[in-house]
Amino acid sequence: MDNRWPLALAVATLATRAVYLASVVHDPFFDYLRHIPDAFFFNNWAQGIASGDWWGGDEVFFIGPLYAYFLGIIYRLIGPQLTVVRVIHIALEIGSALFIYGFARRAVGERAAKVAGIIWVLYLPAIFFSSFVLPVSLDIFLITGSFYLLARGVEGRWWNFAGAGALLGLAVLDRTNLLVFVAAAVPLFLVYVKRLGWRRVVSYFAPIAVIVLAVTLRNGVVGGDFALVSSQGGLNFYLGNSPNATGVYWNLGEVYQGRPAELNKNLATLIAREFEGRDMKPSEVSRWWMSNGLAWLRDHPGDAAGLYWRKMRYFFNDYEVSLNVDFYFIKFISPFHRVQIPWFGFVFPFAVIGLAAGWRKSPFARTAGVLFVVMYALSVLVFFVSARYRLPMVPILIAFAGAGLVLWYDLWRRWRWRSAAALTAAAVVLGACVMWPPPGIRRDGAFGQSYYRYGKFYFDQGEYEETVSYLKKATELTPEMYQGFTMLGMAYENLGQLDTALEIFWRGTIVAPDKAEMHYNLAIALVRGGNLGQALPSLYRAVELEPSYAAAWMQLAEVYIGLGDYRRAELAYRRVVELSPGDGSVLYRYAELQLQMGRVAEALTYAQAAVEANPNLPGPGFIIGRVYYRNDDYLAALKYFEREAGLQPTSSELFGFLAASYGKLGEVERGRAAYRDYLSLGGARDPAFERDAGISSE
């Protein structure tokens, strides 16, 4: 072995990843994780762990916990430094490069291992994912390390097998689907048991069992449910096997409209519990979704066959299926992505050739690699496909691709042209199959979602010109993502372009006529433009589509008030109060309406309820004070006026009543001070009022 080669691979891996990281560091999302749900989730979870919650919460793990603990340890040592996390990812990538080389050298030979190392150094999907706060680099490091130790341990010490099992067991804590390979590896080890010896076999599986058992016991002790590692499996199975399944991820909330926009965990639990009419443990919820998916497969065999064919097309295609992050959209950020190179489309054909080329040096290591590729692919296809979930399998494929390329080169070099031509033809055919896009797939197909995320980022930052530039493209490319129209219209409003905002909101109702939110947005824009009467049909439609839409009912009441129709306003506000019984602001506005209608007793009742609901809410105390003042109960009125003065320090009307109350109670000096405040806040001087209250500004 050339000892310089591992060093060269390490340096080359460091160089490619470091240069790539420098090319994306100016991306506004580099340190803004909110746009990547999984990264945002892991980051928040890790910060809780770093702050001392080493149990990782008090519930059963919903997703694999390893990466959260990995981040948590980093955050505990140096704080939540995301750039440092990415640098550590690069270190893991270097380790993976060395492990791939070490495994391939023992499984397929030295020359093939060198080629595989070069492919990994340049493999852009791996470089891409290493720049995100996601578990991909850690998973690949653990898997490749496990296979390196496995290959090394065949002719070496038994503890290599123990290390291989420990690394794979840790990887299971991020990718639970690896248990499919673990189960399939049992008969493989039994076939080779005479060569390996029982000590190696037990040493490999024991750490896996201990690690998985430890986390399962943690779930039982902390969460009261002995779920195997995590409880997400059943839901993910349903997402991949159901009437709405397309082969890729979809959001459960997209179908169950009107549900709260929560993490799938909460929504899935809510749906299962409502259907069963009882509380359910996380493992029971998982089994419930799994059973629904299995029932669909059983009842729709034809559709299921078509679905799995589509999944296979996605999985074995050069297209990198996006999930949270878009491999192709990043071309607008990094020059690395501007040339469309068939990365997987190049690796896969030669990997198949390498797999079929025969056994060399270590039949066990090679067989284990083949088994891993097959079982890992099956474990993903059972659920749904994404580039991020496919990538952990690719390093082993790359090892075999190195073997395939070496074989192809040697055949041509020796001028065995018939075999070389046949191998070339096979590679071309396989490459064409892999490169042929699946139905409905375009490399810019997810750009609309990415434009929306950037637009949302700039909207949150208050940069509305940038918001408009991104959201215009988002609504053009993906008009069905109606939320883009909402934010685009609001951005135009903030830029003072009210007519354009109105047009955008109107377009939103055309694109999504069954979405109450869109009709509500249009109504708000019309109200802001002073078109109260024109807003009514949109508000009617909003509450018709979503009868529990409290904000729409409240706006309807406000429009009626503006039109002077207090009777209809009262009916609308009653509905708001029913929908939001403990909302102090709603009770306050209803109290104001009662006061406008001359119903003093009702106004007092609802204002008092508003104060009880939210003691720090400005407004309701002023209503109560005015009622007491009109009833000549100046002491009670003063109590509320003084309280409101702290909540509404800029209300001239309030300080006028405060001054009058002091005057009525004979506290002349305090009355004069409050009256001076009243005047300084823009209140008009009233000599008659001064005489009646016994105060003066002088």
For 446-512, CATH gives 1.25.40.10
Other C-beta atoms lying within 10 Å of the C-beta of residue 327 = 20
What residue segments make up the domains of the chain, in order of their start?
A: 4-230+318-435, 446-512, 650-698
* Strand, coil or helix: 446: coil
User: Distance between CA 377 and CA 173 in Å, rounded?
Assistant: 18
Mean pLDDT of the chain: 89
For 336, how many CA atoms within 13 A lie in the half-sphere containing its CB?
21
For residue 258, is pLDDT > 50? no
pLDDT computed for residue 361 by the predictor: 52
Q: Which two tokens stand for residue 563?
A: 């039109």
Q: Give the DSSP letter of residue 546.
A: -
- The radius of gyration of the chain from alpha carbons, rounded to an integer in Å, stands at 33
For the segment 419-427, the average pLDDT, to the nearest whole number, is 87
Let me know: does 245 contact 308? Beta carbons within 8 Å. no
- For residue 281, is pLDDT > 50? yes
Region 270-274: mean pLDDT is 87
Nearest to 355 by CA among 311, 387, 403: 403
When pLDDT is cut at 50, 70 and 90, the band that residue 261 belongs to is very low
pLDDT band at 44 (very low <50, low <70, confident <90, very high): very high
Q: How confident is the model at residue 154 (pLDDT cuts 50, 70, 90)?
A: confident
Q: How confident is the model at residue 257 (pLDDT cuts 50, 70, 90)?
A: very low
Among residues of the chain, what percentage have pLDDT more than 70?
A: 96
**pLDDT confidence of residue 693:** 63
Over residues 632-654, the mean pLDDT reads 89
pLDDT at 256 over 60: no
The pLDDT score that the predictor gives to residue 264 is 64
- Residue 262: the pLDDT is 43
Average pLDDT on 553-561 reads 92
Is the confidence at residue 358, as pLDDT, over 70? no
Query: What pLDDT, on a 0 to 100 scale, did the predictor assign at position 116?
Result: 96
pLDDT at 259: 38
How many other β-carbons are positioned within 10 Å of the β-carbon of residue 377?
18
Q: Would you state the structure tokens that stand for residue 416, as one six-digit string? A: 């065995």
In angstroms, the CA 81 to CA 21 distance is 15
| C-alpha–C-alpha distance, residues 59 and 57, integer Å | 6
Tell me the backbone φ, ψ of residue 519, rounded to 5 degrees.
-70, -35
Q: What is the pTM of this model?
A: 0.82
First to last CA, the chain: 100
